[in-house]
Amino acid sequence: MHCLVTGGAGFIGSHLVDLLLESGHRVSVFDNFSSGRRDFLSHHGDNIKIIEGDLLDLDAVKAAMDGIDIVYHLAANPDIRLGTTVTDTDLNQGTVATYNVLESMRIGGVKKIAFASSSVVYGEAEVMPTPEDYGPLFPISLYGASKLGCEALITSWVGTFGLQAWLFRFANIVGARGTHGVIFDFIHKLRADPNRLEVLGNGRQEKSYMEVMDCASAMIHLTTNTDDAINYFNLGSDDTCSVRRIAEIVIEESGLSDVSIDYTGGDRGWAGDVPKAMLDPTRMRDAGFSTNYNSEGAVRYTAKTLMEEIGLDE
């Protein structure tokens, strides 16, 4: 199949590109390189086609659909916190961009879309682990609002124009090439001050983490092995890891011996942060996919890998 990966130069996208090529697919990448990086893809040389473009440029997106069998739509603003200060970021880079992808697919006759949604669509769910049919869906971040808005656009294109869709609600995805998130932040803080690690909130925020290659493998497995009009899955591991535990693991992996952990207090890292999120991955497992790492394993592997990538010395 000829796959178009939007955000294919990004953290998750570039791993997906690796695995799609390994699986024998043809791959085109659409990325504006705002957070994606060319060096995440450079090892593929001419084996992939890279389109530098912005999803807000409808004509560019239309042109990219030529000959495509399936779109893996991963491009989005990667920084959930940004939505609290620039309030139209997620509306544009999430919702409007996804509209452009769908409209271009409709016009170009592309019938399959796999979408990177998120556990944040559940908001502060009262059921944990949270199953896919949980309701009501009241996301509390602008990023989460956009993800739910995008899911709805996609299902409406299924219902109205006959698309086939895979909706993947990601846990926190961590791993090599990470460019943001709590582990990444902690490593940068330790680089700046090897004796003190400031943690936003009380450290009791607790979420499911999934290793990025597990995540990319799951996407390929499920788009290959499920075939409903709308296929929807939580992608995550069976357990959670607290921010407190992540801080300890990062410090352990750093080899630093004299680090004090300072908590800023409060039950969440920032307005719109969900204090606790745990996905029920039963449907994913029932469809035949199991992760290599649990949450703590994914965090530890990521801490180790990112420290090698970033280095601990300023």
Does 230 sit near a second copy (CB under 8 A)?
A: yes
Q: Would you say 129 and 285 are in contact if contact means Cβ atoms under 8 Å apart?
A: no
Binding-site string for a second copy from residue 96 to residue 115, where x marks contact by CB under 8 A and - marks none: x--x---x--x---------
Does 87 sit near a second copy (CB under 8 A)?
A: yes
Radius of gyration of the chain, Cα coordinates, nearest whole angstrom: 19
Tell me the one-letter amino acid at 112. K
Nearer to a second copy, 86 or 192 (CB): 86
* Torsion over CA: 210, 120, 33, 191 (sign): negative
Does 7 sit near a second copy (CB under 8 A)?
A: no
Name the residue among 129, 183, 198, 199 with its Cα closest to residue 297: 183
Tell me the one-letter amino acid at 223. T
Number of residues that bind a second copy (CB under 8 A): 43
Q: What is the pairing mode between strands 276-277 and 2-6?
A: unpaired
Residue 143 bears catalytic tag: yes
The one among 166, 209, 232, 293 contacting a second copy by CB under 8 A: 232
Q: Would you say 97 and 75 are in contact if contact means Cβ atoms under 8 Å apart?
A: yes
* Beta strand spans in the chain (E): 2-6, 26-31, 49-52, 70-73, 112-118, 164-170, 172-174, 196-199, 206-207, 209-211, 230-235, 241-242, 260-263, 276-277
Nearer to a second copy, 140 or 312 (CB): 140
Query: In angstroms, what is the minimal distance from the CB of 54 to a second copy?
Result: 17
Nearer to a second copy, 146 or 291 (CB): 146
Nearer to a second copy, 144 or 175 (CB): 144
Query: In angstroms, what is the minimal distance from the CB of 154 to a second copy?
Result: 8
List the alpha helices (DSSP H) in 113-231: 142-161, 182-192, 212-225
Distances (CA, A) of 43 to 37, 38, 119, 179, 217: 12, 10, 31, 19, 19
Torsion, CA 73, CA 137, CA 130, CA 248, rounded to 10: 70
The one among 50, 55, 105, 158 contacting a second copy by CB under 8 A: 158
Binding-site string for a second copy from residue 8 to residue 47, where x marks contact by CB under 8 A and - marks none: ----------------------------------------
Does 59 sit near a second copy (CB under 8 A)?
A: no
Does 281 sit near a second copy (CB under 8 A)?
A: no
- Contacts (Cβ under 8 Å, ≥6 apart) of 128: 276, 277, 278
Nearer to a second copy, 85 or 257 (CB): 85
The one among 45, 136, 257, 286 contacting a second copy by CB under 8 A: 136
Which is the catalytic residue, given 72, 122, 134, 143? 143
Contact residues for a second copy, defined by CB under 8 A: 83-84, 87-88, 91, 95-96, 99, 103, 106, 121, 123-124, 132-142, 144-146, 148-149, 151-153, 155-161, 230, 232, 271-272
Catalytic residues: 143
